[in-house]
Amino acid sequence: MSLLSDLINLNLSESGTKKIIAEYIWIGGSGMDIRSKARTISGPVSDPSKLPKWNYDGSSTGQAPGEDSEVILYPQAIFKDPFRRGENILVICDAYTPAGEPIPTNKRHNAAKIFSHPDVASEEPWYGIEQEYTLLQKDINWPLGWPIGGYPGPQGPYYCGIGADKAYGRDIVDAHYKACIYAGINISGINGEVMPGQWEFQVGPSVGISAGDEVWAARYILERITEIAGVVVSFDPKPIQGDWNGAGAHTNYSTKSMRNDGGYEVIKKAIEKLKLKHKDHIAAYGEGNERRLTGKHETADIHTFSWGVANRGASVRVGRDTEKNGKGYFEDRRPASNMDPYVVTSLIADTTILWKP
């Protein structure tokens, strides 16, 4: 008699079939709830344009009324499926009305328009996104490793810490890291964060719209792994009030002009544009960010724009190497952990490349 695990791990190709399973993934009505469902495809596919469009009940995701509930999924990016493996795939989709109009929660559509603008495309914008998150005990919504109803020792030993009394959930983190590499996501690293139970993974450098696709795919894989582990992942920017660090999604950014000789002057002009648009960016950088951007715990105050070299208390940080080399990249430290990467990446490009003050 086969065990359930044996059946889950069946290799479909051993049966002689060419059929594969495609998991269609999209973003639900809250802007952070990831949804997915699977369908059978007649054979391996590597080009999303070769996949069929699909539909779902938008009235059940807060994205359409019950009397006109059909929402159409357009496949946009393909990743290998680390759960089913073989030729099976994960498919990042965005959502449209039956008439072909992007629904209001489809943030990818507008981002793709910005990234396809000739002035943006010619600058080849690179992004490196540092996605922080907190692992929670399932039934009590309290950080993993924390005593129930109590607190661990103060912050200090946990950042990049090792040991059973400092690192909580490393098996989940490492499983996620390897699964992302397997999937073809450009994940570049992981580390334990300042608050115990909090971790970070980095995606990038990724070019243009692919940065958003890869972050959403990585978030999906993380949610699936925590589901298996019986743990809840939180992207709340300040999951625990008090003297504990919040969770952000620091966004590292450069253009071709910034990476070339003389790029530091281009960077400073871009930062000046970001300063002028500070309120617009804060409004788009995630809900609840005011609880995180207090001027404490390695953040700048939400109401004031600042920048500096190697300053983790600034809105925007420039690295020492960039200053020394006269070219490179900068880090926007304002985005919250629950930001939409399509919105943040495209807005930064729009402000720094297209906008003329």
33-91 pLDDT, tens digit per residue, is 999 999 999 999 999 999 999 999 999 999 998 888 999 999 999 999 999 999 999 99
* Tokens linked to 51: 């996949």
Cα(317)–Cα(356) distance, integer angstroms: 23
β-bridge mates for residue 191, sequence order: 200
Q: Is 304 helix (H, G, I), strand (E, B) or coil?
A: coil
Which pLDDT does position 9 carry in this prediction?
85
Q: pLDDT per residue over 125-138, tens digit each?
A: 999 999 999 999 99
Domain positions in the chain are 4-105, 118-354
Cα(137)–Cα(135) distance, integer angstroms: 7
Contact 140, 193 (CB under 8 A): no
CATH topology of domain 4-105: Ubiquitin-like (UB roll) (3.10.20)
- The set of residues, in sequence order, having a beta carbon less than 8 Å from that of 165 and lying 6+ positions away, is none
Question: What class does CATH assign to 118-354?
Answer: alpha beta
Cα(142)–Cα(209) distance, integer angstroms: 34
Contact 127, 254 (CB under 8 A): no
CA angle at 159 for the pair 342 and 329, rounded to the nearest 5°: 40
Query: Across all residues in the chain, what is the average pLDDT?
Result: 96
Q: What pLDDT band is residue 278 in, cutting at 50, 70 and 90?
A: very high
Q: What pLDDT band is residue 97 in, cutting at 50, 70 and 90?
A: very high
Q: pLDDT per residue over 223-258, tens digit each?
A: 999 999 999 999 999 999 999 999 999 999 999 999
Contact 224, 233 (CB under 8 A): no
Is residue 159's pLDDT more than 90? Answer: yes
Q: Give this prediction's pTM.
A: 0.96
Going by C-alpha positions, the residue among 254, 241, 237, 208 that lies closest to residue 32 is 237
The mean pLDDT of 201-208, rounded to a whole number, is: 97
Distances (CA, A) of 150 to 38, 135, 142, 144, 146: 41, 16, 9, 12, 7
The mean pLDDT of 177-201, rounded to a whole number, is: 98
Q: pLDDT per residue over 296-322, tens digit each?
A: 888 889 999 999 998 888 999 999 999
